[in-house]
Amino acid sequence: MKDLFFKRLETLEKQYNEIVHRENEVAEESNGVYARYKYPVLTAQHAPLTW
């Protein structure tokens, strides 16, 4: 049971680090004034696991 918890925790930490450290890319579509980005700035996935 403990092993399952730690494996799940490791998976969640890996996913969290990938989301937080990924480079945001400028999207192709634009209105000419503002640049739109591919990934949202803040989502529920950005919340730290310790919360």
**Alpha-carbon distances, residue 2 vs 12, 16, 31, 50 (angstroms):** 15, 21, 52, 18
Q: Does residue 16 carry a pLDDT above 90?
A: yes
Name the band, by pLDDT with cuts 50, 70 and 90, for residue 32: confident
The 3-state DSSP class for residue 17 equals: helix
Number of other CB atoms surrounding residue 16 within 10 Å: 15
What letter represents residue 34's amino acid? Y
Q: Which residue has the higher pLDDT, 8 or 30?
A: 8
In the predicted structure, residue 17 carries a pLDDT above the cut 90? yes
Spans of all domains in the chain: 2-46
- pTM, 2 dp: 0.73
How high is the pLDDT of residue 14? 97
